[in-house]
Amino acid sequence: MSSEIDYNSPLISIQTNLYKYGGPILMILGTVSCVLSLIVFTKKNHRKNPCAIYLVACNIGYLLQIYTTMLLAILSNGYNIDPTVYSLSFCHFRYYALLLSAVLSPSYLILASIDRILITSPNALTRQRSTLRLTYICIIGITLFWLLAHMHTLFLTRIVEPVPNLIICSFQPRFYIAFINYYTILIQDILIPLLMIILGI
């Protein structure tokens, strides 16, 4: 047991330092990138382009991901500050934001790809379907869909103490953990990348 702890100690130290020093750098770079993209895509000449609107929504989704999921990971792993173990509401919010932010931006990119397919169609009627009105309806619709689809995490997460002096925020055991694992594999790891590849081709 002692040798296993000695073996894991440098790995834990490396992980802590990566989150402590590398995490804030990545947050700053990600924020600058999103803000620059937002400045470009919100210029007056781009506001009438449906694809630019999808990219604005995508960058807002990335900012959401940076300042929820990434920030909480940096605080808990790099600075040993984990507000989710002290507040059940924060525990619910963490997993809700984690699942939501992982699918929002890719969904907007998929919609942008569909819009590009419509606009480059040789059929004039198909090209006319790429409108700002449809863009806003799609963005609001997909956002509401994912907001509602992940509501279960607001009720099925809890704070547990698996071993003495170790408190963690976790999903409900058994069925719900299996459901989340299959959901993550099917939606986030297979369906979304597959759709992006197909639409890219």
Could you give all domains of the chain from N- to C-terminal order, each with its CATH number?
A: 2-200 (1.20.1070.10)
As a whole number, the mean pLDDT across the chain is 90
Query: pLDDT band at residue 4, thresholds of 50, 70 and 90?
Result: low
For residue 169, the cross-strand partners are 159
pLDDT of residue 6: 60
Q: Tell me the average pLDDT across 186-193.
A: 94
Return the percentage of the chain with pLDDT > 90, whole number.
Answer: 65
Q: Is the pLDDT of residue 165 over 70?
A: yes
Give the containing element (helix H, strand E) for 30: helix 23-41
By C-alpha distance, which of 86, 64, 101, 84 is closest to 171?
A: 84
Query: pLDDT band at residue 53, thresholds of 50, 70 and 90?
Result: very high
pLDDT of residue 143: 97
pTM, 2 dp? 0.88
In this structure, the number of other CB atoms found within 10 A of the CB of residue 71 comes to 15
Q: Tell me the average pLDDT across 12-18.
A: 88
By C-alpha distance, which of 70, 43, 69 is closest to 56?
A: 43
Each residue of 87-128: pLDDT tens digit?
A: 889 899 999 999 999 999 999 999 999 999 999 888 888 888
Measured CA distances, 142 to 18, 37, 89, 155, 192 (Å): 34, 21, 25, 22, 13
pLDDT of residue 166: 80
* CA-based torsion, 147, 149, 151, 157: positive or negative: negative
Task: Name the burial class of residue 83, with classes exposed (0-12), middle (13-18) and buried (19+) by CB atoms within 10 angstroms of its CB.
Answer: middle
Per-residue tokens: 100: 């939501």
Query: pLDDT band at residue 70, thresholds of 50, 70 and 90?
Result: very high
Q: Is the pLDDT of residue 13 over 60?
A: yes
Measured in Å, how far apart are the chain's first and last C-alpha atoms? 52
Q: Is the pLDDT of residue 5 over 70?
A: no
How far is the C-alpha of 33 from the C-alpha of 67, rounded, in Å?
Answer: 14
How far is the C-alpha of 188 from the C-alpha of 124, rounded, in Å?
Answer: 34
